[in-house]
């Protein structure tokens, strides 16, 4: 949203009605407080152009039938508008908050009269700067300056993008639909439910979280026991298989040993062809070896006998 003037100079010129909130990464956040406008005070044309242009773009982006954010309405209703812009003349976001008196149903069907409940009435970030942290910056700075928690506020016809934003950044999900289309999340009723001793875990996020944690822990314990049982079964099957293999090997060894002991020794086969030259030579060699063995035996015995006779003669 480009403007033909310096936005920072316009806001500083109306410092009674506009206050700086913060400056982060070249993005300035200012708040325009409608409560500080005097009755019948002349409105700045430049400031009115800034606010009205942002309100018109918000109306078109949300598909609303009428524009809900203008400087004139802000001055009359005593609401506050948080503007995010980059120097010198680019408005990139807008957030409008103010008090609302509402009758709100909780999930029990009980009606609560909320007097001057702080509410987000309009929220818009330019399409060219979405998903860059501009909306988060606006929202967190508003909460800090207003000293509020996200669940303490009501939200006027939040868009699907705004609901997703609240679910992602603030963990606000559960709410009861209202006839006036305001969204008040169930987390707002948690203190009230505790005072009234209402035992509904879905109202208390901490109890719901504890229950989920207990369920996850129980599931993890069951999974651990199941894995241990499967591991024991695998170990028993493995041990049984090893015992069977050892017994099979032992039986095979025993069978092999018994076959070795029971097998008769095979005699050396007789030579079938004694007429060959090699056989004759082999037989001669065998006879020669036998004769030499006999002669050696006789010579030993003869020498022993001679020695014995000589010994007797000496005696």
Q: Which parts are annotated binding residues for acetyl-CoA?
A: 123-136
Residue closest to 159 by CA, chosen among 109, 124, 203: 124
- The burial of 97, by beta-carbon neighbours within 10 Å (0-12 exposed, 13-18 middle, 19 or more buried), is given as buried
Residue closest to 189 by CA, chosen among 128, 116, 131, 109: 109
Q: In the numeric block, which tokens belong to residue 131?
A: 């998903």
Query: Distance (Å, rounded) from C-alpha 220 to C-alpha 214?
Result: 10
* Cβ atoms within 10 Å, residue 198: 16
Query: Distance (Å, rounded) from C-alpha 195 to C-alpha 208?
Result: 18
Query: Distance (Å, rounded) from C-alpha 198 to C-alpha 134?
Result: 39
The HSE-up count of residue 49 (CA atoms within 13 Å, CB side) is: 14
First to last CA, the chain: 151
Query: Distance (Å, rounded) from C-alpha 302 to C-alpha 296?
Result: 10
Q: How many residues does the chain have?
A: 315
Four-point Cα dihedral 247, 253, 256, 258, nearest 10: -80
For the annotated binding site, the residues are: 123-136
Residue closest to 123 by CA, chosen among 48, 59, 36: 59
Can you say how many angstroms the Cα of residue 174 is from the centroid of all Cα atoms in its chain?
23
């Amino acid at each position: 949203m480009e403007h033909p003037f310096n936005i920072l100079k316009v806001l500083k010129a109306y410092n009674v009605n506009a206050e700086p909130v913060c400056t982060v990464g070249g993005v300035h956040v200012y708040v325009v407080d409608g409560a500080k406008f005097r009755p019948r005070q002349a409105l700045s044309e430049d400031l009115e152009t800034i606010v009205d242009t942002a309100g018109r773009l918000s109306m078109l982006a949300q598909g609303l039938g009428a524009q809900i954010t203008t400087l004139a309405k802000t001055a009359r209703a005593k609401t506050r508008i948080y503007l995010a812009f980059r120097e010198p003349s680019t408005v990139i976001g807008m957030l409008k908050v103010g008090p609302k008196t509402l009758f709100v149903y909780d999930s029990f069907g009980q009606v609560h009269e909320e007097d001057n409940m702080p509410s987000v009435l309009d929220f818009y970030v330019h399409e060219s700067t979405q998903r860059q942290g501009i909306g988060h910056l606006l929202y967190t700075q508003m909460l800090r300056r207003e000293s509020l928690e996200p669940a303490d506020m009501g939200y006027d016809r939040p868009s699907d993008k705004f609901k997703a934003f609240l679910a992602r950044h603030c963990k606000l999900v559960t709410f009861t639909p209202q006839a006036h289309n305001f969204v008040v999340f169930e987390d707002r009723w948690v203190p009230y439910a505790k005072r009234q001793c209402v035992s509904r875990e879905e109202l208390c996020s901490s109890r719901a979280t504890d229950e989920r944690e207990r369920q996850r822990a129980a599931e993890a314990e069951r999974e651990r026991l199941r894995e241990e049982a499967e591991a024991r079964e695998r170990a028993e099957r493995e041990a049984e298989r090893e015992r069977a293999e050892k017994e099979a090997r032992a039986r095979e060894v025993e069978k092999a040993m018994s076959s070795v002991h029971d097998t008769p020794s095979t005699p050396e086969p007789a030579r079938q062809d004694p007429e060959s030259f090699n056989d004759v030579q082999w037989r001669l060699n065998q006879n020669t070896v036998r004769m030499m063995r006999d002669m050696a035996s006789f010579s030993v015995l003869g020498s022993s006998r001679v020695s014995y006779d000589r010994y007797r003669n000496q005696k």
